[in-house]
């Protein structure tokens, strides 16, 4: 279980675009494409390295008007998935802008 105090930062090698509310993310080789749903896209957008997972959960909870439990479950699962795919990394301290 990942620590909710970790900061989430996008992998800067990825190319991405928002189309409406959905994010399209492509790896640096241009061979793998990820299309995120609305919740995932919002998490992706705000993963700039200045928010902890706990803060991201709170943002998602407010943004989508879902319960805190649902927000935590969805967000943690999604971030773990992104970690596995190399789309994000976790840091102990905020990443400077």
Partner 1 sequence: MMQNNRLPLDNECRIQIGEFCCALRFNADAGYVKSARDYFENFNSEQEPDIEVAVNLMPHKEDVTIPSSLFVNKTIDGNSFDYHNGLLKGMIDPRSKKCTIEVDFVLLGGSARIFEQFLFQLYYTLIAEKYGKQKPVRFLLHSCSVLRAGQGYVFVGPSGSGKSTIAGLSTSFSVLNDEMSLILGENGIFSVQATPFNGFFRQKKNLKGPLKGIYFIKQAKSAYVKKVSMHDYIPALVQEMVPFMGILTAEQDIPRSVMIERALDTLLQVPFYELHFLPDESFWNCIE
Provide the binding-site residues for partner 1, judged by CB under 8 A.
13, 15, 17, 19, 24, 26, 28-31, 33, 35
Taking the complex as a whole, the smallest distance from the CB of residue 73 to partner 1 amounts, in Å, to: 27
Q: Is residue 16 within 8 Å of residue 34, measured between CB atoms? A: no
Which CB, 24 or 66, lies closer to partner 1?
24
Which CB, 31 or 67, lies closer to partner 1?
31
Taking the complex as a whole, the smallest distance from the CB of residue 48 to partner 1 amounts, in Å, to: 18
């Amino acid at each position: 279980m990942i620590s909710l105090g970790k900061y989430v930062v996008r992998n800067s090698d990825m190319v991405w675009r928002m189309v409406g509310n959905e994010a399209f993310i492509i790896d640096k080789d241009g061979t793998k494409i990820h299309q995120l749903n609305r919740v995932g896209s919002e998490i992706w957008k705000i993963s700039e390295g200045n928010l902890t997972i706990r803060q991201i959960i709170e943002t998602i909870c407010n943004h989508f008007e879902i319960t805190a439990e649902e927000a935590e479950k969805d967000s943690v699962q999604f971030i773990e998935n992104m970690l596995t795919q190399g789309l994000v990394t976790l840091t102990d301290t905020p990443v400077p802008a």
